[in-house]
Structure 1
């Protein structure tokens, strides 16, 4: 009996010792666990703080087009502005009632412009009336006070974003600029207790677990918006208990450290919304552009509901692939809003009955402009170094005119397809500039404009042929006391011998000689022999100087053959010197960039080249006039016939054996330089008029030209010249031609070579 009591006492003592050891081990492990969780939470807190309080995202560099300027006299016609507004996603209505809308009559457009960031500062929304006449813009009137505006800008087109290595694309929108219905929809559908919980909602997790167990599969999630944000920001998509615990812990920390509005803003700009080829579309701001092609502030109720609907599964609810599925999900979001008194029944019905309203899914939201972007990147590199485009939030404002680019690409595609039937494997390089600003308006470097490879607009060096002739004649006409448009030039066989004894005998294209022709006739018909004679008379070196003053960027060998275009260049180089002619003789270095802003929207320093007078304006006027005659009745008359009543200036060019076809010319808006040829320099059988000029003609059919104005220039008079010998004559004389001329070259005789009349004798003439 005593032994039994002793055994029980020993067992009880042993049990207490075991429990004590277990308790001791438990609280020690608990302390270790708490310490581990605490230190891990501190570690996570540092990671979270670094992300939230630093740079949350690497925002891609944004590349913008030019901002269309409207002012009295601007060379912008009614159809061009209509096309621009369509490109920008403005809605045509009977009466504009909100930002992003416009109405139009045959001569006026009423527009409610969006606010936007201009390089010169923020531009507020504004309602204006734009009136047009036959020359372009007649007036721009502000509707609020009927004041006439000196200049009015449209927002530029966002051409593309330069994506960082992570492949994520986004357009940041602050929460205070996010439509309230999107925020409300998000909370109703994804996390109704968002403002009550502390990052994790245990009740939602339990409810989801019961539903999923009952269904036998995962049909409902219990994650809060904060947990989703933590996963998107910091974690992978791995499905594991450890990842879920880490997600929950991070959500609690985020909720503790930051306000609900900060969390919402981060979520709205981080959430994955779809896939644009290799680019992930993140955030509501970019999703609005991706799905609907317009700013998020202008979306309808139905469109806003769709953005929230697609969060559940961007691939599953892809509206272009599965429109019925996507619309059903959108309507569910609308119904939830109605049931929770966020929409009236009437609003719900109107929204649910509306189509999805998607942008054209066949057209990319990114402008594929390999030739132009190569020039932009090179200019940025030269100005700011290699690292600029890797910086977050940079905004680059370029000179590109999206309408001109679109017309150029269509012209190249259609014309090169046709030319391939005559000359196989021909290629093209094309540059368009803005006549008024000196910026590159469009560029195509391949017959497949979107092909990213050899950029023929910039990189080729081919003989420019007769495109040099305007500079030969500009050099001659600058000597107003010796040359006029009526001056006779010899058109007879000529042979030149160089220092090595080699001879050169230039010939006209038709192998014929006229004996003598006027300077204007030689120019208009691109005659070789008279051009050589004029060039030799004024000096080959002087012609080279004229070209280099006009902006030719590479050395020119001053040999006589240069007078007929034995000078290698690119379409960009040709565009530069023809821009000088179009700009009344003023040289300005062509550029592709107007401004660059950093992430704080502070302009970076830009040094613009000063403009210089390369060709005297009076001489330049005569060259422009002669180029207009090329189109009216010379080698470019086919172009003139295609656009009757429109004054255009141009010059065709063809290298030896028809290897290179060139055209350069301009209307009141754009200067064009176009090359057509083969990469292996073989014969094409194309002349300037049948190859490159055909591309320009197709361009003008896509983008109707504005007739040249050519206002009077000081130093130019309206003169009369003898058709036979070019002598200045009186207006009433026989066999005379009326031409513009330098003051100094127009000093007509007192009579027409006939005996003086009695009154002339009386006056002592």
Structure 2
């Protein structure tokens, strides 16, 4: 029997007491670590989600804050639009005093293009007697004017007819759009011309999206892919060559942020872009961008928006730009200074051509159109042609009138439109005349200065104004602010007062030309002298007037009364103190060119006083006219007597003290009056043609002697003005109450036609009582028939 073998068992290891304790400690440590780790994780998670909530609340609160800022901007007034100041709107109608050459010059100023056959708005063609014009649409103070094509014909007197092109219908009146003279900047120096998106050329919008933000209509304000792509390109290039901002981000930056480069600013920009995209339609965002984007710098003014940029770079409305010009506007956004086309034309053209290429690659242009576009020049306006007019003297008057008629706060309103009376062609001619004449006169005396005012005799509006020999000078406005003795310019009002006294004076009435001594209340005596220090015994009234003789004028003035002359001058519009002393009869009355223009406007306007003005209409942001009081006019001098004064003024030009002016324009009827103060300190001239009344002063600011007379100083400025703006002959059709009279040359006695030694002169019907058979009075029945 085999004994069972029992396998040996490994003896159990008996742990030492110390090692058991060690194992237990490790387990405890592990458990503790595990517990600590769990506790830390829980704490970290607790802190993290709490911080996240706080951050979310902060971001949400900040987003709400930004949302309020954005809403105020977008739903309120996005911009303070500067007040736009316009010139007068040229009116064309049958018999209008506008010549063919003057309309051509106006169209050139407005940026119309001369072509063989007009095919679109902004174009015209011309022959010697006709102009075929396709006028732009524009906002007129009387309402919107649609685009219209017309045929304008001319004769020697001006416009003879205006007819619609499509049906040849004659128009009673046709207006050209006014010239935008300037915008009055009252805020932060930003200048813009707002244009609705639907009036933007489609190519500009297409090019903008292609170049600046291709996914504009897909993203939600921020494009992460574009940001990553731009970052990679910039890292690869080692510099910033590409941006990742969307149009919405750019708008947010332009509207609300600075150009600071920082993470905080970029995050804020992104958040605002998201809010803008969430709140507003894409088209509204696009319109805001197109009118906000910075496009260049016009001296101290920032050029913002496509509308103003079109005028700034090309001098014409954005709707009339060519495709290459539209592409340039998009091209220059990247860097208006870097791509300044006047300083860096090659750089600017290369950038423009890139935009054109992108349009071609996107299918917006075919190859032929692209090749034609890149071959075209930039087509910029001339750099010496200003975008806005420098009219310091005129604008000073406009601002004063706006404040007095509409209130001081008017110019703080956004989007107002001010329509003025300024005639841009008259202003240009006046400035040229002043510069050239004062340069010539200044060779002998550099300290000479000038003030000049022109009015439109039909509207009583200020057509042009120059206040300094440097017309752009901002400072003392001599056209308005000087007060100098007007000399012989007062004489027309002395003679008007006399001629208005029926049955006493005619143009042929003899006046005493003998020495006269007058004494004032203080016992001082005054003995006026003629210019040549001679006395002729007596002279006809017309001769005394046209030769500007002092002694006969004083004798006449004393006979009719100094107070009567002062009354006539006051009624004609002289709104300042008139000293009622005998010396006043020879011009011891202080005035300015504007004051002189006012009273001579009355003579030019058939004796009717109308207050001179510079503003015709003001429209608010909604294009509604603002109410304002306007002074009423009155008949200051009877039309018949005034006609005789006008006739006498034409004789001044024909054969009197202003005959040099008549010789310069031999086939044109002009009216004028020269004036010189004592010691030749002030040289004056006032006159008019069929369209404009002019008042000119030449003198020194220190009231020193000039050695100039009215004919050699101020009249020279006016003559030069007419060289640049050819005059229209006065239409001297007799008014009611005027008849053709015949007077004996020596005695001034009324005679019939056919008598010996007579002169034909216009006369008041009541004052003209000729003799029969050159000696006997007319029978009563012939008197009733007016002679």
TM-score scaled by length of structure 1: 0.98
- Following TM superposition, by how much is the alpha carbon of 1:6 offset from its aligned partner in structure 2, in angstroms? 2.2
Aligned match of 1:673: 695
- Following TM superposition, by how much is the alpha carbon of 1:165 offset from its aligned partner in structure 2, in angstroms? 2.6
SS in 1 for 2:751: coil
SS in 1 for 2:772: coil
User: How big is each residue's C-alpha offset from its partner over 1:696-748, in whole Å with a ceiling of 9 and x where there is no partner?
Assistant: 00000010000001112111111111001000111111110011111122211
- Following TM superposition, by how much is the alpha carbon of 1:630 offset from its aligned partner in structure 2, in angstroms? 0.2
SS in 1 for 2:508: coil
- Following TM superposition, by how much is the alpha carbon of 1:754 offset from its aligned partner in structure 2, in angstroms? 9.6
Aligned match of 1:227: 249
Aligned match of 1:461: 483
Is 2:165 the partner of 1:143?
Answer: yes
Q: Is the 8 A contact 1:659 1:681 kept in 2?
A: yes
Aligned match of 2:15: none
SS in 1 for 2:746: coil
Aligned match of 1:256: 278
Is 2:767 the partner of 1:742?
Answer: no
Aligned match of 1:762: none
Is 2:559 the partner of 1:559?
Answer: no
Q: 2:111 aligns with which of 63, 78, 89?
A: 89
Q: Is the 8 A contact 1:582 1:671 kept in 2?
A: yes
Q: Relative to 1, partners in 2 of residues 1:199 and 1:755: Cα closer, same or farther, differing over 3 Å?
A: closer
User: How big is each residue's C-alpha offset from its partner over 1:221-268, in whole Å with a ceiling of 9 and x where there is no partner?
Assistant: 000000000000011000001111111111011000000000000000
Q: Within 1, Cα distance between the matches of 2:690 and 2:253? A: 56
Is 2:105 the partner of 1:75?
Answer: no
SS in 1 for 2:759: strand
- Following TM superposition, by how much is the alpha carbon of 1:480 offset from its aligned partner in structure 2, in angstroms? 2.9
- Following TM superposition, by how much is the alpha carbon of 1:755 offset from its aligned partner in structure 2, in angstroms? 14
Structure 2, unmatched stretches of 5+, are: 1-22, 779-787
Q: Within 2, Cα distance between the matches of 1:45 and 1:185? A: 30
Q: Within 1, Cα distance between the matches of 2:264 and 2:524? A: 87
Aligned match of 1:133: 155
SS in 1 for 2:455: strand
Aligned match of 1:207: 229
Is 2:741 the partner of 1:725?
Answer: no
Is 2:420 the partner of 1:423?
Answer: no
Q: Relative to 1, partners in 2 of residues 1:308 and 1:755: Cα closer, same or farther, differing over 3 Å?
A: closer
Q: Within 1, Cα distance between the matches of 2:519 and 2:477? A: 38
User: How big is each residue's C-alpha offset from its partner over 1:468-496, in whole Å with a ceiling of 9 and x where there is no partner?
Assistant: 00001001111230111011111111111
Q: Within 2, Cα distance between the matches of 1:19 and 1:56? A: 51
- Following TM superposition, by how much is the alpha carbon of 1:142 offset from its aligned partner in structure 2, in angstroms? 1.1
Q: Within 2, Cα distance between the matches of 1:574 and 1:11? A: 104
Q: Is the 8 A contact 1:110 1:129 kept in 2?
A: yes
Is 2:561 the partner of 1:539?
Answer: yes
User: How big is each residue's C-alpha offset from its partner over 1:59-109, in whole Å with a ceiling of 9 and x where there is no partner?
Assistant: 001111101111111100001111111111111111111111111111111
SS in 2 for 1:396: strand
Aligned match of 1:760: none
Structure 1, unmatched stretches of 5+, are: 757-765
- Following TM superposition, by how much is the alpha carbon of 1:637 offset from its aligned partner in structure 2, in angstroms? 0.3
Is 2:724 the partner of 1:697?
Answer: no
Aligned match of 2:359: 337
Q: Is the 8 A contact 2:254 2:292 kept in 1?
A: yes
Aligned match of 2:369: 347
Q: 1:29 aligns with which of 27, 51, 54?
A: 51
SS in 2 for 1:195: coil
Aligned match of 2:304: 282
**Worse-superposed segment, 12-21 or 328-337:** 12-21
- Following TM superposition, by how much is the alpha carbon of 1:122 offset from its aligned partner in structure 2, in angstroms? 0.9
User: How big is each residue's C-alpha offset from its partner over 1:666-705, in whole Å with a ceiling of 9 and x where there is no partner?
Assistant: 0000000000000111100000000000000000001000
Q: Is the 8 A contact 2:769 2:777 kept in 1?
A: no
Aligned match of 2:615: 593
Instruction: Report how many aligned residue pairs link the two structures.
Output: 756
Q: Is the 8 A contact 1:660 1:676 kept in 2?
A: yes
SS in 2 for 1:448: coil
Q: Is the 8 A contact 1:669 1:706 kept in 2?
A: yes
Is 2:124 the partner of 1:102?
Answer: yes
Q: Is the 8 A contact 2:770 2:777 kept in 1?
A: no
CA root-mean-square deviation: 1.1
Aligned match of 1:489: 511
**Worse-superposed segment, 9-18 or 536-545:** 9-18
Equivalent residue runs for 1:415-454 within 5 Å = 415-454=437-476
Q: Within 2, Cα distance between the matches of 1:475 and 1:603? A: 41
Equivalent residue runs for 1:3-22 within 5 Å = 3-22=25-44
Aligned match of 1:122: 144
SS in 2 for 1:160: strand
Q: 1:712 aligns with which of 707, 729, 734?
A: 734
User: How big is each residue's C-alpha offset from its partner over 1:393-431, in whole Å with a ceiling of 9 and x where there is no partner?
Assistant: 111100000100010001000001111123330111100
Q: 1:379 aligns with which of 401, 404, 425?
A: 401
Q: Within 2, Cα distance between the matches of 1:540 and 1:235? A: 70
Q: Is the 8 A contact 1:75 1:706 kept in 2?
A: yes
Q: Is the 8 A contact 1:423 1:685 kept in 2?
A: no
SS in 1 for 2:569: helix
User: How big is each residue's C-alpha offset from its partner over 1:496-542, in whole Å with a ceiling of 9 and x where there is no partner?
Assistant: 12222211111100101111110011111000011111111111111
Q: Within 1, Cα distance between the matches of 2:462 and 2:493? A: 22
Aligned match of 1:516: 538
Q: 2:591 aligns with which of 558, 569, 573?
A: 569
SS in 1 for 2:750: coil
Q: Within 2, Cα distance between the matches of 1:557 and 1:198? A: 77
- Following TM superposition, by how much is the alpha carbon of 1:184 offset from its aligned partner in structure 2, in angstroms? 0.3
Aligned match of 1:647: 669
Q: Within 2, Cα distance between the matches of 1:624 and 1:36? A: 82
Aligned match of 1:269: 291
TM-score scaled by length of structure 2: 0.95
Q: Within 1, Cα distance between the matches of 2:455 and 2:354? A: 51
Q: Is the 8 A contact 1:186 1:308 kept in 2?
A: yes
Moved over 6 A (4+): none
Q: Within 1, Cα distance between the matches of 2:25 and 2:772? A: 158
Q: Is the 8 A contact 1:433 1:579 kept in 2?
A: yes
Q: Within 2, Cα distance between the matches of 1:498 and 1:197? A: 91
Q: Is the 8 A contact 1:113 1:154 kept in 2?
A: yes
Equivalent residue runs for 1:269-418 within 5 Å = 269-418=291-440
Q: 2:177 aligns with which of 149, 155, 159?
A: 155
Q: Within 2, Cα distance between the matches of 1:753 and 1:133? A: 46
Q: Within 2, Cα distance between the matches of 1:228 and 1:333? A: 19
- Following TM superposition, by how much is the alpha carbon of 1:270 offset from its aligned partner in structure 2, in angstroms? 0.3
Q: Within 2, Cα distance between the matches of 1:189 and 1:472? A: 73
User: How big is each residue's C-alpha offset from its partner over 1:594-653, in whole Å with a ceiling of 9 and x where there is no partner?
Assistant: 000111111000222222111111111110000000000000000000011000000000
